[in-house]
Chain A
């Protein structure tokens, strides 16, 4: 069933891609092929392979139980927040928080997770910023 849904999704993606390709504005100075042809070829392959996937599905993959799925989704949310928070809070604080969260969710006890989080953050800061001179996001506190 997953493969059928995936195939239909792929087919819609291919149709959308082809549709978007048709709306590309051609420049008055164009080569013989133009900017549309290659995307249209790609859309055709995408569509055909999706159709095959939908018509001849593989065995069902093991999807995680709802709780594990929530786990993955919340990790995505935390990472997205991290990306947004990075320029605001600065590298060390944002990274320590995100790494603590991930370590906690992977099964560390809370104290261990905090130690891992801050250790990771300060370790990366020292190695990459202080030693190697990579510029990391600066927060209001200067780090």
Chain B
């Protein structure tokens, strides 16, 4: 019952005019960013963080704005998948498989409203899952000492590569690069400068917001410049939407699918390193195996639209569980959300639930509200969003670049940070070309300091004994899972990834 009392408090926080307005704005921006090919949820949230930060929003309002963007992007991705056969963001890839054939049969409106409902169902159940699972995870996390935390961070890095890259060595490289970048600056424990090479600007360390915006948003601009991909893809095809209501019979056949995939997607989201792309992928494959008796999947089966959409929205909610309860994000976008928390001086993890219950429960209440808003926004207003698909990148991309600059300049007011951001943008472009995943880099810069501090604390407590890292059963368990998570994809991963990546194009290579 305590949960419901907390939730009621959360609603009291979320239901202010300012927060409702922020949620509405976030939902709208999120749907737009999800729908436009080239701007995924991680990009969208990354661009908006500095703004939320410089506008002086408090912790809860900023989080409400940005998680609404996150949920909104998960809804928006389906629009261009269905209408143009181009996924708006990576998790929406699987929606193309049946959504576009449905649109070709003249059922675009039905596919859009059905996928809107499926998204709602997925996100709704995942938010309940978050409410019940996160406090349980917090109870486990309270048993964690520094050694266990170090093992947990290692686990996050080692499992992250399994799905986000086709090459484990490259994701290990990315993680190490991120951790290395985090060590730049004055050492927090002894106060000696490290890797600053006498540059005063670096004493504070590299601001992870600068790294995130550069790696995600600017590298996207470079990709577009390289391909000179300035015209909207929407021009080539006619956008006929048709009837916007889903027949009840269609809803009825899809209900079991939506319920099953919500559960599956949520579980996929909770797993470290998986995220929404995996959620939609395994939801679609499971449903195909389970209900596709006549072989209609892939030819415009409504269940093939409902499954990945419920799955990816549920995974989006699931990915918030480890981020809030343990401080270890499960996906790219939740890593970016972690950056928001850290820059607001809030440390996620078990103490967050004890010290800042208003943030946690306000956020959860806001997720329910945002989800309702998104449902209301995405069915009747879907034609507005389809019209936004007509904005060509040659207008959109300069705006993205300039808003990124404004956000970073707004925080620090220094040209040096802008140059560092450009440097990260170039690095992101080269690394994306080489198929090195960017999410482990971000995670490394975010978690590097915490990881090092836990390592040093654990060993200092045990008088310099390094074996303390594998001393408790809990730590050993975490290490075992970490090693399995790293080795397993080497053996089985090729098949799963081949399935996931066969539809992926160059422009959407950032994992959710």
Interface residues, chain A, with chain B CB atoms under 8 Å away: 2-3, 6, 10, 14, 17, 20-21, 24-27, 29-35, 37-39, 42-43, 45-46, 48-50, 52-53, 56, 58, 61, 63-64, 68-69, 71-72, 75-76, 79-80, 82-84, 86-87, 91, 95, 98-100, 102-103, 105-108, 112-113, 116-117, 120-121, 123-124, 128, 132-137
CB pair B190 A26 closer than 8 Å: yes
Known: A95-B406, A102-B398; 16 extra A-B contacts, CB below 8 A, are A24-B192, A25-B192, A33-B459, A38-B183, A49-B170, A53-B170, A72-B222, A79-B218, A79-B418, A82-B405, A86-B405, A98-B401, A102-B221, A102-B401, A107-B230, A128-B51
How many Å lie between the Cα of A36 and that of B187 in the bound state? 10
A91 to B415, CA, bound (A): 12
Q: In whole angstroms, how far apart are the Cα atoms of A86 and B38 in the complex?
A: 27
Contact: A99 with B173, CB < 8 Å?
A: no
Interface contact A31-B190, CB-CB below 8 Å: yes
Please give me the residue from chain B that is nearest to A98 by CB atom. Answer: B402
Cβ–Cβ < 8 Å partners of A79 in chain B: 218, 401, 405, 418, 422, 425
Scoring B residues 179 to 207 as 1 if CB is less than 8 Å from chain A, else 0, what string do you get?
11001000101111011000000000000
B139 lies within 8 A of chain A by Cβ: no
Query: Contact between A17 and B180 (Cβ–Cβ < 8 Å)?
Result: yes
Q: Is the CB of B418 within 8 A of A106?
A: no
List chain A residues, Cβ under 8 A from B176. Answer: 14, 42-43, 45-46, 49
Q: Determine if B406 and A134 form an interchain contact, defined as CB atoms under 8 angstroms apart.
A: yes
Knowing A38-B455, A42-B179, A136-B406, the reply to whether A99 touches B172 (Cβ < 8 A) is: no
Q: Are A107 and B394 in contact (CB under 8 A)?
A: yes
Interface residue SS majority, chain A: helix
Is B189 touching A32 in the complex (CB atoms < 8 A)?
no
Question: Whole-angstrom distance from the CB of A76 to the nearest CB of chain B?
Answer: 6
Q: Name the B residues within 8 Å of A49 (CB-CB).
A: 169-170, 172-173, 176
User: Which of chain B's residues have a CB closer than 8 A to the CB of A31?
Assistant: 189-190, 456, 459-460
Q: Which of A6, A53, A84 contacts B415 (CB 8 A)?
A: A84
- Rounded to whole angstroms, the CA-CA distance of A45 and B175 in the bound complex is 9
The answer to whether B402 and A26 touch across the interface, beta carbons within 8 angstroms, is no
What residues on A are CB-neighbors of B31 within 8 Å? none
Which segment, of B5-13, B245-253, B331-339, B427-435, faces chain A? B427-435
Whether B480 sits at the interface, judged by CB under 8 Å, is no
